[in-house]
Amino acid sequence: MQDLTGKTVLITGASRGIGADTARVFAGAGAHVVLVARSAGDIDALAAEIGERALALPCDVSRFADVQAAVDKAVETFGGLDILIGNAGVIEPISHLATADPEAWGQVIDINLKGVFYGMRAALPVMTAAGGGTIITVSSGAAHGPVEAWSHYCASKAGAAMLTACAHKENADHGIRAMGLSPGTVATQMQREIKASGINPVSQLDWSDHIPADWPAKALLWMCSADADAWIGQEISLRDPDIRARVGLV
């Protein structure tokens, strides 16, 4: 397992699903984990489970001031910030374009796209001043192809993927390892919301078709190692059997 003793990782959307399992996996590798989410009770409970290496910070990633304050607190508490996992994302309300509520549609953009930018904007000055760091955005196959009734999700994920590519282009020479992870369909609350919508083929998938949330968590840990350096600036798909084998997933 990758040894992250002494390193600090900030994880957005850490209250459940991929984010919560990522916190557990990174803490197990020795890292200090900064848990960022709107659900204070959930991240407080997770921090209590993990122990002294965890810091829970209620935060709305759609507000830059919140994100900047979280990064500042991480640095104040643990002395730096080495890894940023941009995981926070929502898909509700699932709706066709012609009937979408404009305000709700825009809120998804605020979280899924602006939230990724805000994380990068707050973290990059800290990381570059320290000589480098790793920024990983949790992406989606929806970033690269249209899905019925997911216009907000597809558009936001496509934008977040491009932001990650821009982060690489602008900051690779400053020691920043920027990458994306497309995990495929994962057994999380989001998939329950998709299932309940009954719209598009993804909602018709059986629960057994989805991978467990600790698979992308383990992939994210592997991506912080030198073994993943060949993929810097790219998006890794966890659907790829070669990647799964490299991460050690079966």
Residue 248 resides in a domain: no
Nearest to 175 by CA among 137, 227, 123, 218: 123
Residues in the chain: 250
* Per-residue pLDDT tens digits for 17-37: 999 999 999 999 999 999 999
* Residue 16 belongs to domain spanning: 8-243
Residue 142's SS3 state is helix
Distance CA 36, CA 57 (A): 5
Residue 250 resides in a domain: no
Distance CA 109, CA 118 (A): 12
Of the candidates 157, 182, 218, 237, the residue annotated as catalytic is 157
Active site residue 153: yes
Of the candidates 15, 62, 118, 139, the residue annotated as catalytic is 139
Q: How would residue 40 be classed by pLDDT, with cut points 50, 70 and 90?
A: very high
Active site residue 139: yes
* Per-residue pLDDT tens digits for 184-219: 777 677 777 887 888 878 787 776 767 777 889 999
Q: Any residues with CB less than 8 A from the CB of 64 and at least 6 apart, and which?
A: 114, 118, 121, 122
Residue 186 resides in a domain: yes
* Per-residue pLDDT tens digits for 223-243: 999 999 999 999 999 999 999
Number of domains in the chain: 1
pLDDT (mean) for 150-167: 97
Q: Is pLDDT of 7 > 80?
A: yes
* Per-residue pLDDT tens digits for 71-101: 999 999 999 999 999 999 998 999 999 999 9
Residue 1 resides in a domain: no
Residue 146 resides in a domain: yes
Residue 225 resides in a domain: yes
Of the candidates 7, 114, 118, 153, the residue annotated as catalytic is 153
